[in-house]
Protein backbone atom coordinates (compact mmCIF):
# COMPACT_ATOMS: atom_id res chain seq x y z
CA UNK A 1 0.00 0.00 0.00
CA UNK A 2 1.22 3.45 -0.83
CA UNK A 3 1.30 5.94 2.01
CA UNK A 4 -0.03 8.58 -0.39
CA UNK A 5 -3.77 8.93 -0.89
CA UNK A 6 -4.76 7.47 -4.25
CA UNK A 7 -6.53 9.41 -7.00
CA UNK A 8 -9.89 7.77 -7.54
CA UNK A 9 -11.31 7.37 -11.03
CA UNK A 10 -14.82 6.71 -12.33
CA UNK A 11 -15.15 5.48 -15.90
CA UNK A 12 -18.36 6.14 -17.84
CA UNK A 13 -18.54 3.71 -20.75
CA UNK A 14 -16.57 0.55 -21.41
CA UNK A 15 -16.63 0.07 -25.17
CA UNK A 16 -13.63 0.07 -27.50
CA UNK A 17 -11.92 3.08 -25.89
CA UNK A 18 -13.03 2.39 -22.30
CA UNK A 19 -11.70 -1.15 -22.43
CA UNK A 20 -8.29 0.09 -23.53
CA UNK A 21 -8.30 2.76 -20.81
CA UNK A 22 -8.82 -0.01 -18.25
CA UNK A 23 -6.03 -2.09 -19.78
CA UNK A 24 -3.53 0.77 -19.90
CA UNK A 25 -4.31 1.76 -16.30
CA UNK A 26 -3.48 -1.81 -15.34
CA UNK A 27 -0.42 -2.37 -17.57
CA UNK A 28 1.24 0.95 -16.77
CA UNK A 29 0.22 1.20 -13.12
CA UNK A 30 3.77 1.45 -11.76
CA UNK A 31 4.88 4.05 -14.29
CA UNK A 32 1.73 6.09 -13.74
CA UNK A 33 2.22 6.05 -9.98
CA UNK A 34 5.83 7.20 -10.38
CA UNK A 35 4.89 9.99 -12.78
CA UNK A 36 1.95 11.24 -10.75
CA UNK A 37 3.34 10.70 -7.27
CA UNK A 38 0.28 8.73 -6.17
CA UNK A 39 -1.50 5.59 -7.36
CA UNK A 40 -4.59 5.73 -9.54
CA UNK A 41 -7.54 3.66 -8.41
CA UNK A 42 -10.51 2.76 -10.61
CA UNK A 43 -13.52 2.76 -8.28
CA UNK A 44 -16.41 2.30 -10.68
CA UNK A 45 -17.37 1.68 -14.31
CA UNK A 46 -20.80 2.70 -15.57
CA UNK A 47 -22.12 0.55 -18.40
CA UNK A 48 -25.49 -0.34 -19.84
CA UNK A 49 -25.07 -4.09 -19.47
CA UNK A 50 -22.94 -4.93 -16.43
CA UNK A 51 -23.36 -8.66 -16.92
CA UNK A 52 -21.82 -8.64 -20.41
CA UNK A 53 -18.82 -10.91 -21.00
CA UNK A 54 -15.68 -8.76 -20.98
CA UNK A 55 -13.04 -11.41 -21.54
CA UNK A 56 -9.86 -10.88 -19.63
CA UNK A 57 -10.47 -7.26 -18.61
CA UNK A 58 -8.33 -6.83 -15.48
CA UNK A 59 -10.99 -5.44 -13.13
CA UNK A 60 -13.26 -6.83 -10.46
CA UNK A 61 -16.82 -7.45 -11.68
CA UNK A 62 -18.13 -5.56 -8.63
CA UNK A 63 -16.93 -2.27 -10.16
CA UNK A 64 -19.61 -2.35 -12.87
CA UNK A 65 -22.80 -0.39 -12.36
CA UNK A 66 -25.66 0.87 -14.49
CA UNK A 67 -26.09 3.95 -12.30
CA UNK A 68 -23.76 6.45 -14.00
CA UNK A 69 -25.20 9.48 -12.24
CA UNK A 70 -24.87 7.79 -8.87
CA UNK A 71 -21.24 6.98 -9.66
CA UNK A 72 -20.53 10.57 -10.71
CA UNK A 73 -22.02 11.86 -7.46
CA UNK A 74 -19.99 9.60 -5.17
CA UNK A 75 -17.94 11.69 -2.74
CA UNK A 76 -14.88 9.48 -3.11
CA UNK A 77 -14.58 10.00 -6.88
CA UNK A 78 -11.88 12.51 -7.93
CA UNK A 79 -11.80 12.16 -11.71
CA UNK A 80 -14.64 11.26 -14.10
CA UNK A 81 -13.70 9.81 -17.50
CA UNK A 82 -16.44 9.82 -20.11
CA UNK A 83 -16.13 7.66 -23.23
CA UNK A 84 -19.82 7.08 -23.93
CA UNK A 85 -20.44 9.78 -26.55
CA UNK A 86 -23.64 11.57 -27.55
CA UNK A 87 -25.24 14.66 -26.06
CA UNK A 88 -27.45 13.23 -23.34
CA UNK A 89 -27.13 11.80 -20.77
CA UNK A 90 -23.38 12.56 -21.04
CA UNK A 91 -23.93 16.32 -20.63
CA UNK A 92 -25.95 15.88 -17.44
CA UNK A 93 -23.31 13.58 -15.93
CA UNK A 94 -20.38 15.83 -16.79
CA UNK A 95 -22.01 19.09 -15.74
CA UNK A 96 -22.86 17.42 -12.43
CA UNK A 97 -19.26 16.21 -12.01
CA UNK A 98 -17.68 19.56 -12.92
CA UNK A 99 -19.97 21.58 -10.66
CA UNK A 100 -19.07 19.23 -7.81
CA UNK A 101 -15.36 20.01 -8.34
CA UNK A 102 -14.43 16.71 -9.95
CA UNK A 103 -11.93 16.66 -12.82
CA UNK A 104 -13.47 15.56 -16.12
CA UNK A 105 -11.75 13.82 -19.02
CA UNK A 106 -13.93 13.36 -22.09
CA UNK A 107 -13.50 12.12 -25.64
CA UNK A 108 -17.00 13.34 -26.54
CA UNK A 109 -16.54 15.52 -29.61
CA UNK A 110 -20.25 15.76 -30.38
CA UNK A 111 -21.04 17.17 -26.95
CA UNK A 112 -18.06 19.54 -26.96
CA UNK A 113 -18.98 20.84 -30.40
CA UNK A 114 -22.68 21.17 -29.69
CA UNK A 115 -22.56 22.57 -26.18
CA UNK A 116 -18.97 22.81 -24.98
CA UNK A 117 -19.97 26.07 -23.34
CA UNK A 118 -22.12 24.19 -20.82
CA UNK A 119 -19.11 22.10 -19.82
CA UNK A 120 -16.71 25.07 -19.64
CA UNK A 121 -19.22 27.07 -17.60
CA UNK A 122 -19.69 24.16 -15.19
CA UNK A 123 -15.89 23.80 -14.90
CA UNK A 124 -15.57 27.49 -14.07
CA UNK A 125 -18.36 27.18 -11.50
CA UNK A 126 -16.82 24.17 -9.80
CA UNK A 127 -13.21 25.29 -10.18
CA UNK A 128 -12.66 22.00 -11.99
CA UNK A 129 -10.40 20.69 -14.72
CA UNK A 130 -11.89 19.83 -18.11
CA UNK A 131 -9.56 17.90 -20.45
CA UNK A 132 -10.52 16.52 -23.88
CA UNK A 133 -7.36 15.69 -25.85
CA UNK A 134 -8.94 12.47 -27.18
CA UNK A 135 -11.89 14.30 -28.75
CA UNK A 136 -9.92 15.44 -31.81
CA UNK A 137 -7.36 13.45 -33.80
CA UNK A 138 -7.23 10.59 -31.30
CA UNK A 139 -3.69 9.93 -30.16
CA UNK A 140 -2.13 13.09 -31.57
CA UNK A 141 -1.13 15.58 -28.87
CA UNK A 142 -2.82 18.51 -30.53
CA UNK A 143 -5.19 20.26 -28.12
CA UNK A 144 -2.56 20.78 -25.40
CA UNK A 145 -0.18 22.48 -27.88
CA UNK A 146 -3.05 24.68 -29.11
CA UNK A 147 -4.30 25.34 -25.59
CA UNK A 148 -0.88 26.03 -24.08
CA UNK A 149 2.23 25.95 -26.29
CA UNK A 150 0.91 28.35 -28.92
CA UNK A 151 -0.52 30.86 -26.46
CA UNK A 152 2.35 33.23 -27.06
CA UNK A 153 1.60 33.30 -30.78
CA UNK A 154 -1.37 34.06 -33.03
CA UNK A 155 -2.85 31.15 -34.98
CA UNK A 156 -4.04 32.28 -38.40
CA UNK A 157 -5.26 28.99 -39.87
CA UNK A 158 -5.82 25.36 -39.00
CA UNK A 159 -6.21 22.87 -41.85
CA UNK A 160 -6.73 19.26 -40.92
CA UNK A 161 -7.46 15.74 -41.97
CA UNK A 162 -9.37 14.73 -38.85
CA UNK A 163 -11.48 11.81 -40.03
CA UNK A 164 -9.66 8.54 -40.61
CA UNK A 165 -12.53 6.76 -42.39
CA UNK A 166 -12.82 9.32 -45.17
CA UNK A 167 -9.06 9.64 -45.47
CA UNK A 168 -8.81 5.90 -45.94
CA UNK A 169 -11.50 6.06 -48.65
CA UNK A 170 -9.93 9.02 -50.48
CA UNK A 171 -6.39 7.57 -50.23
CA UNK A 172 -7.68 4.33 -51.68
CA UNK A 173 -9.51 6.17 -54.51
CA UNK A 174 -6.29 8.09 -55.25
CA UNK A 175 -4.06 5.04 -55.34
CA UNK A 176 -6.32 2.50 -57.06
CA UNK A 177 -8.60 4.64 -59.20
CA UNK A 178 -11.62 3.14 -57.43
CA UNK A 179 -14.91 5.03 -57.18
CA UNK A 180 -16.43 6.14 -53.89
CA UNK A 181 -18.75 3.14 -53.42
CA UNK A 182 -16.05 0.59 -54.09
CA UNK A 183 -13.62 2.32 -51.73
CA UNK A 184 -16.30 2.62 -49.03
CA UNK A 185 -16.99 -1.09 -49.33
CA UNK A 186 -13.31 -1.87 -48.82
CA UNK A 187 -13.19 0.46 -45.80
CA UNK A 188 -16.22 -1.27 -44.28
CA UNK A 189 -14.70 -4.72 -44.81
CA UNK A 190 -11.46 -3.66 -43.15
CA UNK A 191 -13.29 -2.13 -40.20
CA UNK A 192 -12.37 1.48 -41.06
CA UNK A 193 -15.99 2.45 -41.76
CA UNK A 194 -19.02 1.79 -39.61
CA UNK A 195 -22.13 0.02 -40.85
CA UNK A 196 -23.80 3.44 -41.09
CA UNK A 197 -20.99 5.68 -42.37
CA UNK A 198 -23.09 8.87 -42.52
CA UNK A 199 -21.33 10.74 -39.69
CA UNK A 200 -17.99 10.20 -41.40
CA UNK A 201 -18.71 10.56 -45.12
CA UNK A 202 -21.11 13.46 -44.72
CA UNK A 203 -18.54 15.35 -42.64
CA UNK A 204 -20.49 15.57 -39.36
CA UNK A 205 -17.63 14.03 -37.39
CA UNK A 206 -15.07 16.37 -38.97
CA UNK A 207 -17.35 19.37 -38.42
CA UNK A 208 -17.54 18.67 -34.68
CA UNK A 209 -13.75 18.48 -34.52
CA UNK A 210 -13.45 21.67 -36.59
CA UNK A 211 -15.58 23.51 -34.03
CA UNK A 212 -13.37 22.30 -31.16
CA UNK A 213 -10.14 23.23 -33.00
CA UNK A 214 -11.44 26.65 -34.02
CA UNK A 215 -12.56 27.43 -30.47
CA UNK A 216 -9.08 26.68 -29.11
CA UNK A 217 -7.13 28.28 -31.94
CA UNK A 218 -9.06 31.53 -32.01
CA UNK A 219 -10.10 32.01 -28.35
CA UNK A 220 -13.73 32.12 -29.47
CA UNK A 221 -16.65 29.82 -28.82
CA UNK A 222 -17.45 28.03 -32.09
CA UNK A 223 -20.14 25.34 -32.23
CA UNK A 224 -20.93 22.65 -34.80
CA UNK A 225 -23.80 24.85 -36.05
CA UNK A 226 -21.24 27.51 -37.04
CA UNK A 227 -19.38 25.10 -39.30
CA UNK A 228 -20.16 24.94 -43.02
CA UNK A 229 -20.27 21.26 -43.93
CA UNK A 230 -20.20 19.41 -47.22
CA UNK A 231 -19.63 15.64 -47.35
CA UNK A 232 -17.38 13.70 -49.71
CA UNK A 233 -19.85 11.23 -51.22
CA UNK A 234 -19.91 13.27 -54.43
CA UNK A 235 -16.18 12.86 -55.13
CA UNK A 236 -15.81 10.67 -58.21
CA UNK A 237 -13.00 8.67 -59.74
CA UNK A 238 -13.06 11.31 -62.49
CA UNK A 239 -12.47 14.09 -59.95
CA UNK A 240 -9.53 12.20 -58.53
CA UNK A 241 -8.05 11.71 -62.01
CA UNK A 242 -8.58 15.37 -62.76
CA UNK A 243 -6.83 16.27 -59.49
CA UNK A 244 -3.87 14.09 -60.40
CA UNK A 245 -3.56 15.83 -63.78
CA UNK A 246 -3.25 19.12 -61.90
CA UNK A 247 -0.58 17.71 -59.56
CA UNK A 248 -3.12 17.50 -56.74
CA UNK A 249 -5.03 15.01 -54.66
CA UNK A 250 -8.41 15.30 -52.94
CA UNK A 251 -8.80 15.26 -49.14
CA UNK A 252 -11.74 15.92 -46.84
CA UNK A 253 -10.43 18.95 -44.97
CA UNK A 254 -11.51 20.87 -41.92
CA UNK A 255 -10.44 24.46 -42.38
CA UNK A 256 -10.53 27.20 -39.78
CA UNK A 257 -9.19 30.61 -40.73
CA UNK A 258 -9.12 33.97 -39.01
CA UNK A 259 -8.94 37.51 -40.22
CA UNK A 260 -8.66 40.51 -37.90
CA UNK A 261 -12.25 40.41 -36.66
CA UNK A 262 -13.78 37.17 -37.78
CA UNK A 263 -13.25 33.47 -38.35
CA UNK A 264 -14.53 31.02 -40.92
CA UNK A 265 -14.84 27.31 -40.23
CA UNK A 266 -15.73 24.74 -42.86
CA UNK A 267 -15.50 21.08 -43.78
CA UNK A 268 -15.52 19.95 -47.39
CA UNK A 269 -13.53 17.90 -49.87
CA UNK A 270 -10.84 19.94 -51.59
CA UNK A 271 -7.99 19.56 -54.03
CA UNK A 272 -4.57 20.18 -52.50
CA UNK A 273 -1.21 20.08 -54.27
CA UNK A 274 0.80 16.87 -53.86
CA UNK A 275 3.61 19.01 -52.46
CA UNK A 276 1.49 20.05 -49.47
CA UNK A 277 2.45 18.17 -46.29
CA UNK A 278 -1.18 17.02 -45.87
CA UNK A 279 -1.24 15.39 -49.32
CA UNK A 280 0.96 12.48 -48.25
CA UNK A 281 -1.11 11.67 -45.16
CA UNK A 282 -2.41 8.30 -46.26
CA UNK A 283 -4.42 5.40 -44.95
CA UNK A 284 -6.56 6.19 -41.90
CA UNK A 285 -3.99 8.62 -40.46
CA UNK A 286 -4.89 12.10 -39.27
CA UNK A 287 -2.80 15.25 -39.53
CA UNK A 288 -3.39 18.86 -38.65
CA UNK A 289 -1.51 21.72 -40.27
CA UNK A 290 -1.36 24.86 -38.12
CA UNK A 291 -0.23 28.25 -39.39
CA UNK A 292 0.76 30.99 -36.96
CA UNK A 293 2.15 34.48 -37.23
CA UNK A 294 5.49 33.74 -35.55
CA UNK A 295 6.07 30.00 -35.51
CA UNK A 296 5.29 29.50 -39.20
CA UNK A 297 3.74 26.24 -40.43
CA UNK A 298 3.49 23.32 -38.01
CA UNK A 299 2.10 19.86 -38.58
CA UNK A 300 0.93 17.19 -36.13
CA UNK A 301 0.52 13.67 -37.47
CA UNK A 302 -0.64 10.33 -36.06
CA UNK A 303 -3.48 7.90 -35.54
CA UNK A 304 -6.83 9.62 -35.26
CA UNK A 305 -8.89 6.73 -34.02
CA UNK A 306 -8.75 3.25 -32.58
CA UNK A 307 -9.23 2.13 -29.01
CA UNK A 308 -5.63 2.08 -27.88
CA UNK A 309 -4.42 5.32 -29.52
CA UNK A 310 -7.47 7.17 -28.20
CA UNK A 311 -6.92 5.64 -24.76
CA UNK A 312 -3.34 6.96 -24.81
CA UNK A 313 -4.71 10.50 -25.11
CA UNK A 314 -7.20 9.83 -22.30
CA UNK A 315 -4.40 8.54 -20.07
CA UNK A 316 -2.27 11.64 -20.72
CA UNK A 317 -5.19 13.75 -19.54
CA UNK A 318 -5.71 11.54 -16.49
CA UNK A 319 -2.06 12.07 -15.49
CA UNK A 320 -2.41 15.85 -15.88
CA UNK A 321 -5.67 15.99 -13.91
CA UNK A 322 -4.31 13.72 -11.17
CA UNK A 323 -1.16 15.86 -10.79
CA UNK A 324 -3.28 18.98 -10.58
CA UNK A 325 -5.40 17.46 -7.83
CA UNK A 326 -2.33 16.45 -5.84
CA UNK A 327 -0.75 19.89 -6.09
CA UNK A 328 -4.05 21.73 -5.73
CA UNK A 329 -3.73 23.41 -9.11
CA UNK A 330 -5.83 23.67 -12.26
CA UNK A 331 -5.44 23.42 -16.01
CA UNK A 332 -5.65 26.69 -17.94
CA UNK A 333 -9.35 27.52 -18.03
CA UNK A 334 -11.31 28.23 -21.19
CA UNK A 335 -9.92 31.11 -23.22
CA UNK A 336 -12.70 32.76 -25.22
CA UNK A 337 -11.80 36.41 -24.75
CA UNK A 338 -11.46 37.13 -28.47
CA UNK A 339 -15.16 36.44 -29.19
CA UNK A 340 -14.68 36.76 -32.92
CA UNK A 341 -17.64 36.64 -35.30
CA UNK A 342 -18.11 33.51 -37.37
CA UNK A 343 -18.43 34.44 -41.02
CA UNK A 344 -20.95 32.59 -43.21
CA UNK A 345 -19.46 30.34 -45.90
CA UNK A 346 -20.48 32.82 -48.61
CA UNK A 347 -17.87 35.26 -47.36
CA UNK A 348 -15.06 32.71 -47.23
CA UNK A 349 -12.41 33.27 -49.85
CA UNK A 350 -11.85 30.07 -51.81
CA UNK A 351 -10.86 28.81 -55.23
CA UNK A 352 -13.01 26.51 -57.38
CA UNK A 353 -12.13 23.76 -59.82
CA UNK A 354 -15.11 23.44 -62.17
CA UNK A 355 -15.53 20.79 -64.81
CA UNK A 356 -18.20 21.41 -67.48
CA UNK A 357 -19.60 19.28 -70.30
CA UNK A 358 -20.30 21.77 -73.05
CA UNK A 359 -21.59 21.95 -76.59
CA UNK A 360 -18.84 21.88 -79.25
CA UNK A 361 -19.54 25.26 -80.86
CA UNK A 362 -17.50 28.35 -81.56
CA UNK A 363 -17.78 30.98 -78.81
CA UNK A 364 -18.46 28.60 -75.93
CA UNK A 365 -15.39 29.69 -73.97
CA UNK A 366 -16.21 33.35 -74.53
CA UNK A 367 -19.74 32.85 -73.19
CA UNK A 368 -18.57 30.86 -70.19
CA UNK A 369 -15.78 33.33 -69.40
CA UNK A 370 -18.36 36.11 -69.60
CA UNK A 371 -20.37 34.50 -66.80
CA UNK A 372 -17.30 34.43 -64.56
CA UNK A 373 -16.54 38.07 -65.35
CA UNK A 374 -20.12 39.08 -64.61
CA UNK A 375 -19.72 37.64 -61.08
CA UNK A 376 -16.27 39.22 -60.68
CA UNK A 377 -14.60 35.85 -60.42
CA UNK A 378 -11.18 35.77 -62.02
CA UNK A 379 -10.13 32.66 -63.96
CA UNK A 380 -6.65 31.22 -63.30
CA UNK A 381 -6.52 28.40 -65.87
CA UNK A 382 -8.76 26.86 -68.53
CA UNK A 383 -8.33 23.54 -70.27
CA UNK A 384 -10.50 22.56 -73.23
CA UNK A 385 -10.68 19.02 -74.48
CA UNK A 386 -12.95 18.65 -77.45
CA UNK A 387 -14.55 15.80 -79.23
CA UNK A 388 -17.65 16.60 -81.25
CA UNK A 389 -19.97 14.73 -78.93
CA UNK A 390 -18.16 15.33 -75.67
CA UNK A 391 -16.43 18.67 -75.24
CA UNK A 392 -15.09 19.54 -71.83
CA UNK A 393 -14.02 22.72 -70.12
CA UNK A 394 -12.01 22.56 -66.91
CA UNK A 395 -11.69 25.90 -65.18
CA UNK A 396 -9.72 26.81 -62.05
CA UNK A 397 -10.46 30.20 -60.53
CA UNK A 398 -8.45 32.62 -58.47
CA UNK A 399 -9.56 33.19 -54.90
CA UNK A 400 -13.03 34.76 -54.64
CA UNK A 401 -15.90 34.91 -52.14
CA UNK A 402 -17.61 31.54 -52.01
CA UNK A 403 -20.99 33.18 -52.67
CA UNK A 404 -19.72 34.67 -55.95
CA UNK A 405 -18.39 31.27 -56.98
CA UNK A 406 -21.66 29.55 -56.10
CA UNK A 407 -23.61 32.17 -58.08
CA UNK A 408 -21.29 31.65 -61.04
CA UNK A 409 -21.90 27.90 -61.01
CA UNK A 410 -25.65 28.51 -60.73
CA UNK A 411 -25.56 30.85 -63.74
CA UNK A 412 -23.42 28.41 -65.75
CA UNK A 413 -25.96 25.64 -65.13
CA UNK A 414 -28.61 27.75 -66.84
CA UNK A 415 -26.66 28.23 -70.07
CA UNK A 416 -27.92 26.20 -73.05
CA UNK A 417 -24.37 25.48 -74.13
CA UNK A 418 -23.54 23.86 -70.78
CA UNK A 419 -24.83 20.28 -70.95
CA UNK A 420 -23.91 19.46 -67.39
CA UNK A 421 -21.66 20.53 -64.54
CA UNK A 422 -19.55 17.44 -64.05
CA UNK A 423 -17.95 18.57 -60.83
CA UNK A 424 -17.25 21.51 -58.58
CA UNK A 425 -14.42 21.21 -56.05
CA UNK A 426 -12.72 23.77 -53.87
CA UNK A 427 -8.95 24.10 -54.19
CA UNK A 428 -6.88 24.70 -51.05
CA UNK A 429 -3.29 24.95 -50.00
CA UNK A 430 -2.03 26.99 -52.91
CA UNK A 431 -1.49 30.71 -53.38
CA UNK A 432 -4.41 32.45 -55.02
Contacts with its own copies by CB under 8 A lie at 20, 24, 28, 31-32, 34-35, 133, 139-141, 144-145, 148-154, 219, 277, 280, 292, 294-303, 306, 308-309, 311-320, 323-324, 327-330, 332, 335, 337-338
* Residue 126 CB coordination number (10 Å): 19
Strand partners, 407: none
- 288: annotated binding-site residue? no
16 appears as a binding residue in the annotation: yes
- Measured at the CA of 430, the angle between CA 424 and CA 269, to 5 degrees, comes to 35
Burial zone of 332 (CB within 10 Å; 0-12 exposed, 13-18 middle, 19+ buried): exposed
Is 73 among the residues known to form the active site?
no
Q: Which is nearer to its own copies, 203 or 429 (CB)?
A: 429
Q: How far is the CB of 97 from its own copies (least distance, A)?
A: 20
Minimum distance from residue 138 beta carbon to its own copies (Å): 8
Closest distance to its own copies from the beta carbon of 26 (Å): 12
**Residue 288: strand pairing partners:** 160, 300
How far apart are alpha carbons 189 and 186 in whole angstroms?
5
Tell me how far, at minimum, the Cβ of 28 lies from its own copies, in Å. Answer: 7
CB of 134 to its own copies, least distance (A): 10
Which of helix, strand or coil describes residue 382? strand
Nearer to its own copies, 96 or 133 (CB): 133
Q: Is the preceding omega at residue 63 within 30 degrees of 0, hence cis?
A: no
Output 119 or 313, the one with its CB closest to its own copies.
313
| Nearest CB to its own copies, comparing residues 93 and 301 | 301
CB 50 within 8 A of CB 10: no
Active-site entry in 102, 209, 251, 392: 209
**In angstroms, rounded to a whole number, what is the distance separating the alpha carbons of residues 113 and 102?**
21
13 is in an annotated binding site: yes
Q: Which is nearer to its own copies, 231 or 302 (CB)?
A: 302
Which of residues 330 and 398 has its CB atom nearest to its own copies in the complex? 330
Residues 6+ apart with CB under 8 A from 427: 248, 270, 271, 272, 350, 351, 352, 353, 396
> Residue 25 annotated as binding?
no
Shortest distance, position 367 Cβ to its own copies, whole Å:
43
Per the annotation, does 15 bind a ligand? yes
Q: What's the gap between Cα 268 and its chain centre?
A: 12
| Rounded Cα gap, residues 31 and 39, in angstroms | 10
Four-CA torsion 303, 309, 315, 320, nearest 10 degrees: -10
Count Cβ atoms within 10 A of the Cβ of residue 343 and give its class: 0-12 exposed, 13-18 middle, 19 or more buried. buried
Annotated binding site for L-homoserine: 194
Binding residue ranges for NADP(+): 12-19
Known binding residues for NADPH: 109
- Catalytic residue numbers, as ranges: 209
Binding residues: 12-19, 109, 194
Amino acid sequence: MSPVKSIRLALLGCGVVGTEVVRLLHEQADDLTARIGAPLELVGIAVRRPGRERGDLPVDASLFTTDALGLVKRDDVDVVIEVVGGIEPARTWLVEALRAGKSVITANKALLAEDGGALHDAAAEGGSDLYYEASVAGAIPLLRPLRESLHGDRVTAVTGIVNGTTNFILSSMASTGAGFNEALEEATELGYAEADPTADVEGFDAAAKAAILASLAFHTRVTAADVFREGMTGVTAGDMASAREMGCTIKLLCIAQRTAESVSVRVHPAMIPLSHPLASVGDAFNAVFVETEAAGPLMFYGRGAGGRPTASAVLGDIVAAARNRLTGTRAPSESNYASLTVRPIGESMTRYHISLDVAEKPGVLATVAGVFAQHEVSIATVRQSGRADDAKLVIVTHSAPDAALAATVEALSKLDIVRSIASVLRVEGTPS
